[in-house]
Structure 1
Amino acid sequence: MQTVNLQEKFDQFDAYWTPHIVAEANGQHVRIAKLKNSFVWHKHDKEDELFIVVKGTLTVNFRDHVETVREGELLVIPRGVEHLPQSEEEVLLINITRAETTHTGDTVADVTIPLEKMKRL
Protein backbone atom coordinates (compact mmCIF):
# COMPACT_ATOMS: atom_id res chain seq x y z
CA MET A 1 0.00 0.00 0.00
CA GLN A 2 1.38 3.35 -1.05
CA THR A 3 -0.08 6.78 -1.68
CA VAL A 4 0.18 7.95 -5.30
CA ASN A 5 0.81 11.63 -5.91
CA LEU A 6 -0.79 12.19 -9.31
CA GLN A 7 0.98 15.47 -10.06
CA GLU A 8 4.37 13.87 -9.39
CA LYS A 9 3.44 11.07 -11.80
CA PHE A 10 2.23 13.49 -14.50
CA ASP A 11 5.53 15.38 -14.15
CA GLN A 12 7.48 12.23 -15.11
CA PHE A 13 6.50 12.27 -18.79
CA ASP A 14 5.68 14.65 -21.64
CA ALA A 15 4.39 12.43 -24.47
CA TYR A 16 0.74 12.84 -25.43
CA TRP A 17 -1.67 9.90 -25.80
CA THR A 18 0.74 7.61 -23.95
CA PRO A 19 -0.96 6.03 -20.93
CA HIS A 20 1.07 5.10 -17.86
CA ILE A 21 -0.07 2.69 -15.17
CA VAL A 22 -0.01 4.22 -11.69
CA ALA A 23 -2.06 1.64 -9.76
CA GLU A 24 -4.08 -1.56 -10.03
CA ALA A 25 -7.27 -2.58 -8.23
CA ASN A 26 -9.67 -5.46 -8.82
CA GLY A 27 -8.19 -6.38 -12.19
CA GLN A 28 -8.35 -2.77 -13.34
CA HIS A 29 -5.54 -0.44 -14.32
CA VAL A 30 -5.55 3.13 -13.12
CA ARG A 31 -3.77 4.88 -15.97
CA ILE A 32 -2.84 8.50 -16.46
CA ALA A 33 -2.16 10.29 -19.72
CA LYS A 34 -1.57 13.69 -21.19
CA LEU A 35 -3.74 14.48 -24.18
CA LYS A 36 -3.53 17.15 -26.85
CA ASN A 37 -4.92 17.38 -30.38
CA SER A 38 -6.78 14.40 -31.84
CA PHE A 39 -6.53 10.66 -31.06
CA VAL A 40 -8.06 7.91 -33.29
CA TRP A 41 -11.60 6.67 -33.74
CA HIS A 42 -11.91 3.46 -31.72
CA LYS A 43 -14.19 1.39 -29.48
CA HIS A 44 -13.89 -1.20 -26.75
CA ASP A 45 -16.17 -4.14 -27.43
CA LYS A 46 -15.79 -5.88 -24.05
CA GLU A 47 -15.68 -3.05 -21.52
CA ASP A 48 -16.84 0.42 -20.66
CA GLU A 49 -14.20 3.16 -20.53
CA LEU A 50 -13.97 5.74 -17.74
CA PHE A 51 -12.33 9.13 -18.30
CA ILE A 52 -11.71 11.51 -15.38
CA VAL A 53 -10.36 14.93 -16.36
CA VAL A 54 -7.87 16.25 -13.80
CA LYS A 55 -6.91 19.36 -15.79
CA GLY A 56 -8.19 20.93 -18.99
CA THR A 57 -11.18 20.24 -21.22
CA LEU A 58 -11.63 17.05 -23.23
CA THR A 59 -13.94 16.76 -26.20
CA VAL A 60 -15.20 13.27 -27.01
CA ASN A 61 -16.76 12.90 -30.44
CA PHE A 62 -19.31 10.20 -31.04
CA ARG A 63 -20.86 9.38 -34.41
CA ASP A 64 -24.10 11.12 -33.39
CA HIS A 65 -23.04 13.79 -30.86
CA VAL A 66 -20.19 15.41 -28.93
CA GLU A 67 -19.56 15.41 -25.16
CA THR A 68 -17.39 17.96 -23.38
CA VAL A 69 -15.66 16.81 -20.19
CA ARG A 70 -14.26 19.59 -18.06
CA GLU A 71 -11.79 19.63 -15.20
CA GLY A 72 -13.23 17.70 -12.26
CA GLU A 73 -15.75 15.82 -14.44
CA LEU A 74 -15.91 12.25 -15.67
CA LEU A 75 -17.44 10.40 -18.57
CA VAL A 76 -18.23 6.71 -18.93
CA ILE A 77 -18.22 5.49 -22.52
CA PRO A 78 -20.30 2.32 -22.84
CA ARG A 79 -18.74 -0.76 -24.40
CA GLY A 80 -18.98 -0.93 -28.16
CA VAL A 81 -19.48 2.81 -28.66
CA GLU A 82 -17.08 4.31 -31.18
CA HIS A 83 -15.46 7.55 -30.04
CA LEU A 84 -12.73 10.05 -30.85
CA PRO A 85 -11.16 11.96 -27.94
CA GLN A 86 -9.49 15.29 -28.67
CA SER A 87 -8.45 18.53 -27.03
CA GLU A 88 -7.13 21.88 -28.19
CA GLU A 89 -4.97 22.36 -25.10
CA GLU A 90 -3.23 19.89 -22.81
CA VAL A 91 -5.50 17.65 -20.75
CA LEU A 92 -4.41 15.56 -17.77
CA LEU A 93 -6.56 12.44 -17.64
CA ILE A 94 -7.17 9.44 -15.41
CA ASN A 95 -8.47 6.37 -17.21
CA ILE A 96 -9.72 3.32 -15.34
CA THR A 97 -10.09 0.18 -17.40
CA ARG A 98 -9.56 -3.58 -17.34
CA ALA A 99 -5.88 -4.48 -17.19
CA GLU A 100 -6.03 -6.40 -20.49
CA THR A 101 -7.47 -3.43 -22.43
CA THR A 102 -5.37 -1.47 -24.91
CA HIS A 103 -6.03 2.25 -25.07
CA THR A 104 -6.99 2.10 -28.75
CA GLY A 105 -9.46 -0.76 -28.25
CA ASP A 106 -10.18 -2.59 -31.50
CA THR A 107 -8.13 -0.13 -33.57
CA VAL A 108 -4.46 -0.67 -34.29
CA ALA A 109 -2.74 2.60 -35.21
CA ASP A 110 0.64 4.29 -34.96
CA VAL A 111 -0.32 5.52 -31.48
CA THR A 112 -1.23 2.05 -30.16
CA ILE A 113 0.96 0.97 -27.26
CA PRO A 114 0.94 -2.79 -26.66
CA LEU A 115 0.10 -3.67 -23.05
CA GLU A 116 3.50 -5.25 -22.47
CA LYS A 117 5.17 -1.94 -23.40
CA MET A 118 2.92 0.28 -21.28
CA LYS A 119 5.06 1.92 -18.60
CA ARG A 120 4.39 1.70 -14.88
CA LEU A 121 5.21 4.78 -12.86
Structure 2
Amino acid sequence: MKSINLQDKLGQFSAHWEPQVIADYNQNDVMVVKFIGEYPFHKHETTDDFFLVLEGEMIMDIEGEPSKTVKAGELFVVPKGVVHRPRAEQEVKVLLIEPKGEPNSGDSDRPPATKPRL
Protein backbone atom coordinates (compact mmCIF):
# COMPACT_ATOMS: atom_id res chain seq x y z
CA MET A 1 0.00 0.00 0.00
CA LYS A 2 1.36 3.36 -1.03
CA SER A 3 0.24 6.64 -2.50
CA ILE A 4 0.72 7.20 -6.22
CA ASN A 5 1.52 10.62 -7.63
CA LEU A 6 -0.35 10.92 -10.92
CA GLN A 7 1.72 13.85 -12.19
CA ASP A 8 4.91 11.90 -11.50
CA LYS A 9 3.59 8.90 -13.44
CA LEU A 10 2.41 11.08 -16.34
CA GLY A 11 5.89 12.66 -16.49
CA GLN A 12 7.51 9.26 -17.10
CA PHE A 13 6.26 8.81 -20.68
CA SER A 14 5.38 10.88 -23.74
CA ALA A 15 3.65 8.41 -26.09
CA HIS A 16 0.04 9.04 -27.03
CA TRP A 17 -2.70 6.39 -26.93
CA GLU A 18 -0.47 4.05 -24.86
CA PRO A 19 -2.09 3.51 -21.43
CA GLN A 20 0.36 2.89 -18.58
CA VAL A 21 -0.76 0.74 -15.63
CA ILE A 22 -0.12 2.49 -12.32
CA ALA A 23 -2.19 0.39 -9.88
CA ASP A 24 -4.45 -2.61 -9.45
CA TYR A 25 -8.01 -2.25 -8.21
CA ASN A 26 -9.89 -5.49 -7.65
CA GLN A 27 -9.68 -7.19 -11.06
CA ASN A 28 -9.02 -3.88 -12.85
CA ASP A 29 -6.03 -1.98 -14.19
CA VAL A 30 -5.84 1.68 -13.15
CA MET A 31 -3.99 3.50 -15.91
CA VAL A 32 -2.91 6.94 -17.06
CA VAL A 33 -2.79 7.89 -20.72
CA LYS A 34 -2.02 10.93 -22.86
CA PHE A 35 -3.65 11.48 -26.20
CA ILE A 36 -4.24 13.93 -29.00
CA GLY A 37 -6.18 13.42 -32.20
CA GLU A 38 -8.83 10.74 -32.44
CA TYR A 39 -9.14 7.06 -31.65
CA PRO A 40 -11.21 4.80 -33.95
CA PHE A 41 -14.88 4.25 -33.17
CA HIS A 42 -15.29 1.03 -31.16
CA LYS A 43 -17.27 -0.64 -28.42
CA HIS A 44 -16.66 -3.00 -25.52
CA GLU A 45 -19.29 -5.74 -25.42
CA THR A 46 -18.89 -6.81 -21.79
CA THR A 47 -17.57 -3.82 -19.86
CA ASP A 48 -18.16 -0.11 -19.36
CA ASP A 49 -15.37 2.32 -20.31
CA PHE A 50 -14.23 4.74 -17.55
CA PHE A 51 -12.47 8.05 -18.29
CA LEU A 52 -11.42 10.69 -15.71
CA VAL A 53 -9.88 13.77 -17.32
CA LEU A 54 -6.93 14.95 -15.24
CA GLU A 55 -5.67 17.74 -17.48
CA GLY A 56 -6.95 19.24 -20.71
CA GLU A 57 -10.19 18.50 -22.49
CA MET A 58 -11.52 15.35 -24.14
CA ILE A 59 -14.35 15.03 -26.62
CA MET A 60 -16.33 11.81 -26.54
CA ASP A 61 -18.14 10.99 -29.76
CA ILE A 62 -21.06 8.61 -29.23
CA GLU A 63 -22.69 6.95 -32.22
CA GLY A 64 -26.08 8.55 -32.90
CA GLU A 65 -25.69 11.29 -30.25
CA PRO A 66 -24.13 14.75 -30.04
CA SER A 67 -20.47 14.79 -28.97
CA LYS A 68 -19.80 15.36 -25.27
CA THR A 69 -17.00 17.60 -23.98
CA VAL A 70 -15.29 16.32 -20.82
CA LYS A 71 -13.08 18.81 -18.97
CA ALA A 72 -10.38 18.42 -16.32
CA GLY A 73 -11.90 17.14 -13.10
CA GLU A 74 -14.83 15.47 -14.89
CA LEU A 75 -15.39 11.79 -15.55
CA PHE A 76 -17.29 10.02 -18.27
CA VAL A 77 -18.49 6.42 -18.36
CA VAL A 78 -19.42 4.80 -21.66
CA PRO A 79 -21.83 1.89 -21.02
CA LYS A 80 -20.90 -1.51 -22.43
CA GLY A 81 -22.01 -2.05 -26.02
CA VAL A 82 -22.08 1.68 -26.89
CA VAL A 83 -20.02 2.69 -29.94
CA HIS A 84 -17.74 5.59 -29.03
CA ARG A 85 -14.55 7.44 -29.91
CA PRO A 86 -12.45 9.60 -27.58
CA ARG A 87 -10.56 12.46 -29.15
CA ALA A 88 -8.75 15.67 -28.23
CA GLU A 89 -7.72 18.72 -30.21
CA GLN A 90 -4.81 19.33 -27.79
CA GLU A 91 -3.04 16.85 -25.55
CA VAL A 92 -5.22 15.54 -22.75
CA LYS A 93 -4.21 13.46 -19.72
CA VAL A 94 -6.71 10.86 -18.55
CA LEU A 95 -7.06 8.22 -15.84
CA LEU A 96 -8.65 4.98 -17.07
CA ILE A 97 -10.00 1.96 -15.22
CA GLU A 98 -10.46 -1.27 -17.20
CA PRO A 99 -10.80 -4.94 -16.34
CA LYS A 100 -7.47 -6.74 -16.60
CA GLY A 101 -7.02 -8.20 -20.07
CA GLU A 102 -9.62 -5.95 -21.73
CA PRO A 103 -8.17 -4.59 -25.00
CA ASN A 104 -8.44 -0.81 -25.06
CA SER A 105 -9.21 -0.99 -28.78
CA GLY A 106 -12.49 -2.85 -28.24
CA ASP A 107 -13.84 -4.21 -31.50
CA SER A 108 -11.90 -1.75 -33.74
CA ASP A 109 -9.23 -2.85 -36.21
CA ARG A 110 -6.57 -0.93 -34.24
CA PRO A 111 -4.18 -3.26 -32.38
CA PRO A 112 -4.62 -2.98 -28.59
CA ALA A 113 -2.01 -1.19 -26.50
CA THR A 114 0.44 -3.30 -24.52
CA LYS A 115 -0.37 -1.47 -21.25
CA PRO A 116 3.07 -1.52 -19.60
CA ARG A 117 3.35 -1.00 -15.85
CA LEU A 118 5.06 2.14 -14.51
TM-score range, shorter chain: over 0.9
Three-state SS of the structure 2 residue aligned to 1:58 is strand
101-110 or 19-28: bigger deviation = 101-110
Q: Give the Å deviation of 1:102.
A: 1.1
Q: Secondary structure at the match of 1:60?
A: strand
CA distance in 2, matches of 1:97, 1:70: 20
User: 2:101 & 2:44 partners in 1: Cα distance?
Assistant: 11
Q: Superposition pairs for residues 50-65 of structure 1, below 5 Å?
A: 50-64=50-64, 65=66
Structure 1 partner of 2:115: 118
TM-score by length of 1: 0.92
5+ residue gaps in structure 2?
none
Aligned to 2:95: 94
Partner residue of 1:24?
A: 24
Q: Which amino acid aligns with 2:27?
A: G
Q: Are 1:83 and 2:74 counterparts?
A: no
Q: How many residues align?
A: 117
Which residue of the partner structure matches residue 11 of structure 2?
Answer: 11
Off by >6 Å, runs of 4+ in structure 1: none
SS in 2 for 1:30: strand
Counterpart residue identity of residue 44, structure 2: H
Aligned match of 2:74: 73
Letter in 2 for 1:20: Q
Structure 1 unaligned regions, length at least 5? none
Q: CA deviation at 1:30?
A: 0.3
Deviation at 1:108, TM superposition (A): 3.1
**Equivalent position SS for 1:104:** coil
TM-score between the two structures when normalised by the length of structure 2: 0.95
Deviation string 1:25-72 (CA, Å, 9 cap, x unpaired) is 110110110010111111100000110000001001111221110000
- Identical positions, percent: 34
Q: How far off its partner does 1:5 sit?
A: 0.6
